[in-house]
Structures are given as C-alpha cells and as structure tokens.
Structure 1
Amino acid sequence: METRRLHLLVELSRLGSMRAVAEATGTTTSTVSQQIAVLAREMGTDLIEPHGRRVRLTPAGRRLAEHAVTILSAVEAAHLDLAPGAEPNGTLRIAGFASAIRAHLLPLVAELATSHPRLHLLVREHEPAEALALLASDETDLALTYDYNLAPATFDPAVRATALWTTPWSLGVPAAAADGAGTAAEVFARFRGHDWIVNSRNTADDTAIRTLASMAGFTPRITHRADNLDLVQGMITAGLGVGLLPAGIPTFPDVRLVPLTAPDVLLRAYAVARHGRLNWPSLALLIDLLTERSRQPAVPDGPEGPGEPDGPGELPVG
C-alpha cells in the first residue's frame, strides 16, 4: 500500500472532489481517480461512490481515511526521527495571530538566534481559520490560534492543540455610556440598541457576542467589521457601535472598558501542530518555549489585539 495513495484519499476526504485534490496535489483528476481505484483493489472494497456529478467516500472509504491520517502521521514522524542530527535546525514555518506573534513569539527570536543559530523561523500573520488551513495544506508547521470560552474551537483529529495562555476581554463602549456594572448579560442588555463591531477575518467574537446577547434576551445588530482593535476603538469613538476589546489595554480618551463577568469572556490561545511533526526537535523546542512563556505573568498587549493593521504577510526571522 503506497502512502501516496493514502494521502490522496485523505485529501479527497478533506476537499470533497477529485478536481480539488488534483489542484492541491499538482496532478490530474484522472490520476487521482486511477490511484484511488488501485487503492480500492488493494483493499478489496469500494472506497468511493457516485454522488450526483461528483463522488463521495463510502463508509469503508471514510474508515480507511481515518486510518490513513494515523499511518501518514507515523510515517512523517519516522522521517523526522531519522533526520540527521537531533539539534533543532532548519526552517520552521509559523502562522499565527498578530498579538501572539508580537507578545509571545518575537521575544523568543533573540534567544533562539543565540541558542540555536541554525534554526530559521518564517513567520506569517493569519487569523485562526487561515492558519489552520495552511496547516492542513502543509504550508506551515505551527499554527498559533485562539478561540473564546463562549465560542470553543473544534480541532481536526490530525492535529494536536496545546493550550497556551488566556486573556480576559471586556466590552468597549463610549466613555459617556460606561456607567454601571453587572453580569455580562446585564452589561449587554444596556447596549441592546447599539450597533456591534466584530472581527472582519474571524467569527469567534461574533459567536461570543451573539451568545451573550441571547442570554440578555436580544439579537445583536452586527453592522461593522474590523480586523484591527485600534480601528475598533476609533469606530467606538466615532459612535459607530460597541465591541469586544482585551481587558487592560490602553484605551482612547473617549473609550471605556466595561468588565464582563458571570460568565467571563476569555480569549484562549493555542499552539497547533500535526501529530506527525510533534517530535521534530525544532517544533518541539518552540512549543515548549511558548508554553513556558505563557505561564509567566501577563503583560497588557497594546491596542492591537488578535488583528493587525495589515493583512496576511510573511516575515523571515532569525
């Protein structure tokens, strides 16, 4: 059984069409079809079946795809284990959200440059969905992602998510409307008539806001989206609405942070990597360093939260 055929089956399970698999793997649709057919003969059972103009995996195909994830991870781990030299080296690709890169990854760069000069970090700024997509397509080795406790993420079985740090979030409102405290639902209820501002590149805060609004008995009117929390504060100052902001960040003169409790709103950060690469010395080292750093006392991160002024970019480091 060739691992290349197993890889095509896993990609078919993930992408849902022969054409998409061919485009992702740089081959042709007929080649993908032929290789899946050979794999079916080797297994002695049908792995795909017609589904309209397309195909879908049979129950046996889905089961084999699940096994294939484990098999391919084991093969990948074996390659890494047999790589010459256990000292961390080579290029390690990281995709993550802006504040994780700025506050937690970049401070490690100088340390790694001294302790492991042969290790080269390639950093790309992306929101969680974007970073996880890069991880699935093997365009990055480590994804730094986040979710909210009120909007928990679901991770693919092919990856392992290591919990890092948590950050409490508040509701950013105009200074003149910041009077009064209460539970999160009570705070939200006071702003039921306002427009709401959410992230333009991620849906986690959208879900968290809708969840708390439902607890307060209303549906939020989400009208504005921005990826940069400095811009969110500007929108609040201009009277365009209210939105979630990290607790403790410096605020604009006309913006106030109202604490959200009972329930708290927590941003939870993760280091996500594929199972087959967890023993790679370079990756294991960086995850250990990030985990250690996440246990240190938190420092307010500045006006930009998960987003940044610029879109996805690539920054060679080290």
Structure 2
Amino acid sequence: MIDLRRLHVLRAVAHYGTVTAAARALHFTTSAASQQIRQLARDLGVDLLEPQGRGVRLTPAAESLLAHADAIQARWEQAELDLRAEHAPAGPLRVSGFPVAVSVLLAPMAVRLHERHPRLSVRIQEAGVPGSFDLLFEGETDLAVVEATPHNPPLSDARFDQQPLLDDPFDLVVPEDHPLAGRERVDLADAAHEEWIAPVADSPCRPHVLSACGEAGFSPDIVHHALDWNVTAHLVASRLGVALIPRLAQLTGHLPITRVRCTGNPHRKLLTCTRRGARERPAVAAALRELRALAPKAVA
C-alpha cells in the first residue's frame, strides 16, 4: 500500500526541483523529507531519486509513479465535485493573482460573488506567477489568474488546468505634450529613437516589451527600470522616457501622460488556472463566470 503522505513529498520534490526546496515548502527538515522518499522507495522496491551533479533527479520509476499520483489528485478533485454538484456555491473560495489582476479582476469578482452567493466567502491572496502555481500545488488556493510566460508549467501538465481569460493590450504611454500623444494609434517604430522605461529584468512583462519593439524593427534604448506600473507612469510624467504599459494597469489619474494604442496589438495573455479536476466545482465555476464577464470590459 502506497503511503500518500510520502507520495506527496515526492510530488513536492518534482514540483520545486530539489529535496531542500520541497522540504521547506512542506515545513519539513531536509533530512525528514529525504527519509520519507527513501521509505517510499523501500516500500515499492524501486529507486526514486538518483544523483545528478550536486543534486538529484527523478528516476523513470519516479516519473511513472508521479503520473499516477497526478491522476489520483485529479480524481480527488472530481470526487469533491460530485459531492457538491447539487449544492449552491458556499464556503471559502481561495483565489490568487498578481497585483493588477487582484485590483482589476479578482476584487470586483469577489464583490459580485458576495452579492449573488452570500454563503460563499472569497479570500484573495496577492501572488506572482510562480507563487500562484505553488499555492495551487500546495492546495492553498483554488483559482489563480496568471500571466502566460515561458516559465509556466506546460499546458499539458497533468496537475493544472490552464485556460485563456483575456488578451491584455500594451499601450504606448508618453507625456501629454509629446508629438505622439495626439494620435489615435501609433506604430512603435515611431518611438524607436526615444529613451525608454522598461520593466525590471525578472518581470514577466519585460519579454513582451522587448518583443514588441523587436517586431517594430528596433531595440529600445532602456535608461530606467521599474517594477510597479505607477512608478513607470511617474517616470514618463517626468519626461524621462516612454513606456509600454498594459491596459489593465490602473495609473494615477492626475499625471500629465497619455496612453496611445499601438498598431499590431502587442499584448500579454492572462490565464485562469486551477488544479486539474477542480474547474467545475460550484464555487470555482461561479468565480470563472464572473471573471469571463469582467474581462472584456476591463480592457475595452
């Protein structure tokens, strides 16, 4: 009989990449996590981890076992769905997302759900993209709104159900008296010789900005970097450069800046993500309906 607690430790190692990181997430010591995996290997009579440099990697037997473990997790989600299928949304619903998603999508979603389903209690947690996937894996959140990035788990990952929510266009943001400010739409090539303000190096949006400029035929002269979109907007207002900012980002209202829509529609994709099998749970399904209703208006 497989000990499901030990199996969960192995799943954590696969998710976080190392025994140490898995142990930290599970609030174990590294030695305790290692002992759980060794005991699971002895129970099954197979090797589950093998040395790779200074670390370890999963053996083919471990990969096979994890495929079954992910299927078991999805069946548990389906079992809970079957038990709740005839009930109205109720109880706690835990959702997470990056800052703009929380402000523009998850907060109004929570208000609508409270009005329509008084027995449903929405609990919001701000989290970046990797953090939201970790929360889903750990069972600490039920639904996440994330950006699509090359570093996300693949869509084929059996643990997660990732579905498109909306395309969030980037607008060129310039000082209000800038020569490009009066245009209805602008070709980014017209801003090729400007100084630029870009997201910091590890921002999920930085590759989108660089790609959009590259497709317009130039590499931007980036002189300033910012993490928060309102910081970027203040730098633009101070005439320190121009920037591409997602339309979802709500900027300080009094700033002397102008958003100009871009030809070619550069954008980022937002996804909703749940654990596999959880999307049809009444509370999650209700939240998804509200998000789909809010999304088009948010980027209009």
How far apart, in 2, do the equivalents of 1:101 and 1:128 lie? 12
Name the SS of the counterpart of 1:136 in structure 2: helix
Is residue 168–residue 299 contact of structure 2 (8 Å, CA) maintained in 1? no
Report the equivalent of 2:153.
155
2:208 partner amino acid: A
2:120 partner amino acid: L
Alpha carbons of structure 1 residues 217 and 237: separation in structure 2 relative to 1, 3 Å: same
Q: What are structure 1's unaligned runs of at least 5 residues?
A: 302-318
Report the equivalent of 1:256.
258
Residue deviations 1:165-205 (CA, integer Å, cap 9, x gap): 333221112332427798745234243xx1323258x6232
Q: What are structure 2's unaligned runs of at least 5 residues?
A: none
1:104 aligns with 2:77: no
How far apart, in 2, do the equivalents of 1:71 and 1:172 lie? 48
Report the equivalent of 1:176.
178
How far apart, in 2, do the equivalents of 1:281 and 1:91 lie? 12
Report the equivalent of 1:86.
87
Report the equivalent of 1:60.
61
Name the SS of the counterpart of 1:298 in structure 2: helix
2:285 partner amino acid: A
TM-score normalized with structure 2 length:
0.81
How far apart, in 2, do the equivalents of 1:18 and 1:274 lie? 22
How far apart, in 1, do the equivalents of 2:71 and 2:19 lie? 22
- How far residue 41 of structure 1 moved from its aligned partner, in angstroms, is 3.7
The residue correspondences of 1:217-296 to structure 2 (distance < 5 A) are 217-247=217-247, 254-262=256-264, 264-294=265-295
Alpha carbons of structure 1 residues 188 and 144: separation in structure 2 relative to 1, 3 Å: same
- How far residue 271 of structure 1 moved from its aligned partner, in angstroms, is 1.6
Is residue 46–residue 58 contact of structure 1 (8 Å, CA) maintained in 2? yes
Report the equivalent of 1:49.
50
- How far residue 163 of structure 1 moved from its aligned partner, in angstroms, is 1.9
Is residue 188–residue 212 contact of structure 1 (8 Å, CA) maintained in 2? no
Report the equivalent of 1:10.
11
1:298 aligns with 2:297: yes
Name the SS of the counterpart of 1:277 in structure 2: coil
Is residue 20–residue 30 contact of structure 2 (8 Å, CA) maintained in 1? yes
Name the SS of the counterpart of 1:269 in structure 2: strand
Name the SS of the counterpart of 2:293 in structure 1: helix
Alpha carbons of structure 1 residues 155 and 19: separation in structure 2 relative to 1, 3 Å: closer
How far apart, in 1, do the equivalents of 2:297 and 2:92 lie? 29
How far apart, in 1, do the equivalents of 2:208 and 2:196 lie? 15
Name the SS of the counterpart of 1:267 in structure 2: strand
Name the SS of the counterpart of 2:192 in structure 1: helix
Report the equivalent of 1:305.
none
How far apart, in 2, do the equivalents of 1:114 and 1:229 lie? 31
TM-score normalized with structure 1 length:
0.77
Residue deviations 1:275-309 (CA, integer Å, cap 9, x gap): 14223321122112222333xx52568xxxxxxxx
- How far residue 217 of structure 1 moved from its aligned partner, in angstroms, is 4.6
- How far residue 40 of structure 1 moved from its aligned partner, in angstroms, is 2.5
Report the equivalent of 1:133.
134
Alpha carbons of structure 1 residues 161 and 197: separation in structure 2 relative to 1, 3 Å: same
Query: Aligned residues, how many?
Result: 292
Alpha carbons of structure 1 residues 299 and 61: separation in structure 2 relative to 1, 3 Å: closer
Report the equivalent of 1:71.
72
How far apart, in 2, do the equivalents of 1:199 and 1:261 lie? 24
Is residue 88–residue 119 contact of structure 1 (8 Å, CA) maintained in 2? yes
Is residue 146–residue 270 contact of structure 2 (8 Å, CA) maintained in 1? yes
1:18 partner amino acid: V
1:155 partner amino acid: P
- How far residue 207 of structure 1 moved from its aligned partner, in angstroms, is 0.3
Q: Which moved more, 1:76-85 or 1:225-234?
A: 76-85
Residue deviations 1:1-25 (CA, integer Å, cap 9, x gap): 2222221111111223223222222
Report the equivalent of 1:316.
none
How far apart, in 2, do the equivalents of 1:8 and 1:126 lie? 23
Is residue 188–residue 213 contact of structure 2 (8 Å, CA) maintained in 1? yes
How far apart, in 1, do the equivalents of 2:54 and 2:298 lie? 55
Is residue 171–residue 262 contact of structure 2 (8 Å, CA) maintained in 1? yes
1:187 aligns with 2:186: no
Is residue 97–residue 144 contact of structure 2 (8 Å, CA) maintained in 1? yes
Name the SS of the counterpart of 1:70 in structure 2: helix
| Identity between Structure 1 and Structure 2 (%) | 31
